[in-house]
């Protein structure tokens, strides 16, 4: 059954031009916030991605949210189906708001989900280790990618991440860090989390800028939240899935598959984008 919104899609902001050759930016598609409570919406999102033949898809799993044996079985099945699981925080909510910067980040960007920002460097690494161990304890493939909630990594250095050797890649707002080498690749991000009317024009402007940057960067991230397909930017998301067809997993960045003229060190990305610094 098609939902009413699918039968009458709202027109996207600009016409999609499908490209699937090497001129098309490498396209990293992720679904955020897999938790038991969001799985019904995640399944509908994966149905939509399947219909548009989007593969591979990276799934950002939040371990500390009450998974039971059946839920973990479903994650294993998703992995067998070729989806890539990544770690995404522990509980996906901050226990407390620490400091003015975190308070502002919380108000304007992350609500209360940026759980790293309430922690010091040791606390961040302990949380990441707990996240990684959970996958191993439940016979899931150990993820090579970690995405901090709200892309807010907090006050942990690239050197500390390399030494801890927990995840090969860490995604932040501006791009993706290779923790082995300390190099990071700038990857423009498209988002559709228009859960309030005021966010619609802001996200459309942001996405228009990101599409332009994607041409130069040679790669683009399409970050989908579970409720996005019920939000006003659903048609924009579908248009982008038709426009960008050179799908890859994040590990393709390690192979240099994306032209990355704007590759920068994490410290530079962190200074510009991480509000905890």
User: Which residues are at the interface with Zn ion (CB under 5 A)?
Assistant: 32-33, 149
Name the minimum Å distance from CB 66 to Zn ion. Answer: 16
Residue (149 or 175) nearer to Zn ion, CB: 149
Closest distance of CB 151 from Zn ion, Å: 8
In whole angstroms, what is the distance from residue 144 CA to residue 167 CA? 5
Q: Please report how close the Cβ of residue 194 comes to Zn ion at its closest, in angstroms.
A: 16
Name the residue nearer to Zn ion (CB basis): 12 or 89: 89
Question: What's the min distance (Å) between Cβ of 86 and Zn ion?
Answer: 11
Is there a contact between 56 and 30 (Cβ–Cβ < 8 Å)?
no
Closer residue to Zn ion in complex, CB, 63/149: 149
Neighbouring C-beta atoms of residue 181, cutoff 10 Å? 12
- DSSP one-letter string for the chain: ---HHHHSPPPPSS----B-STTSPEEEEEEEEE-GGGHHHHHHHHHHHHHTT----EEEE-TTTT--HHHHHHHHHHHHTT-EEEE--SSSS-SS--HHHHHHHIIIIITT--GGGGS-HHHHHHHHHHHHHHHHHTT-PPPSEE--GGG---S--HHHHHHHT--SEEE-SSEEEETTT-EEEE--EEE----STTHHHHHHHHHHHHHHHHHHHSEEEEEE-TTGGGSTTHHHHHHHHHHB-EEE-GGGGGGT-S--TT-EEHHHHHHHH-TT-
Q: Which is nearer to Zn ion, 33 or 228 (CB)?
A: 33
Closer by beta carbon to Zn ion, 149 or else 275: 149
Query: CB of 148: closest distance to Zn ion in angstroms?
Result: 9
Q: Which is nearer to Zn ion, 32 or 246 (CB)?
A: 32
Nearest distance from residue 225's CB to Zn ion, in Å? Answer: 7
Q: Toward Zn ion, which CB reaches closer, 206 or 254?
A: 206
Please choose, from the candidates 42, 43, 64, 86, the residue with its C-alpha nearest in 3D space to the C-alpha of residue 221: 86
Question: Shortest distance, CB of residue 147 to Zn ion, whole angstroms?
Answer: 7
C-alpha radius of gyration, the chain, whole number: 18
């Amino acid at each position: 059954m098609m939902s009413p919104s699918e039968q009458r899609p709202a027109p996207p902001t600009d016409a999609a031009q499908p490209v699937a050759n090497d001129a098309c930016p490498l396209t990293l598609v992720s679904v955020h916030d897999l938790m038991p409570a969001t799985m019904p919406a995640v399944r509908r999102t994966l149905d939509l991605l399947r219909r548009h033949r989007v593969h591979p898809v990276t799934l950002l799993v939040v371990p500390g949210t009450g998974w039971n044996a059946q839920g973990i079985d479903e994650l294993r099945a998703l992995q067998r189906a070729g989806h890539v699981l990544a770690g995404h925080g522990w509980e996906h909510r901050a226990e407390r708001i620490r400091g003015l910067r975190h308070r502002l980040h919380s108000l304007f960007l992350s609500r209360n989900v940026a759980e790293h920002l309430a922690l010091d460097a040791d606390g961040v690494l302990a949380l990441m280790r707990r996240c990684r161990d959970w996958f191993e304890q439940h016979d899931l493939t150990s993820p090579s990618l970690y995405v901090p909630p709200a892309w807010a990594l907090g006050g942990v250095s690239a050197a500390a991440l390399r030494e801890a050797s927990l995840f090969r890649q860490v995604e932040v707002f501006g791009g993706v860090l290779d923790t082995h080498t300390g190099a990071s690749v700038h990857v423009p991000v498209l988002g559709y989390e228009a859960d309030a009317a005021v966010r619609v024009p802001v996200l459309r402007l942001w996405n228009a800028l990101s599409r332009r940057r994607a041409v130069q960067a040679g790669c683009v991230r399409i970050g989908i939240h579970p409720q996005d397909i019920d939000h006003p930017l659903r048609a924009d998301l579908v248009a982008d899935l038709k426009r960008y067809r050179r799908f890859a997993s994040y590990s393709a960045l390690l192979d240099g598959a994306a032209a990355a003229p704007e590759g920068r060190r994490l410290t530079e990305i962190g200074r510009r984008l991480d509000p905890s610094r």
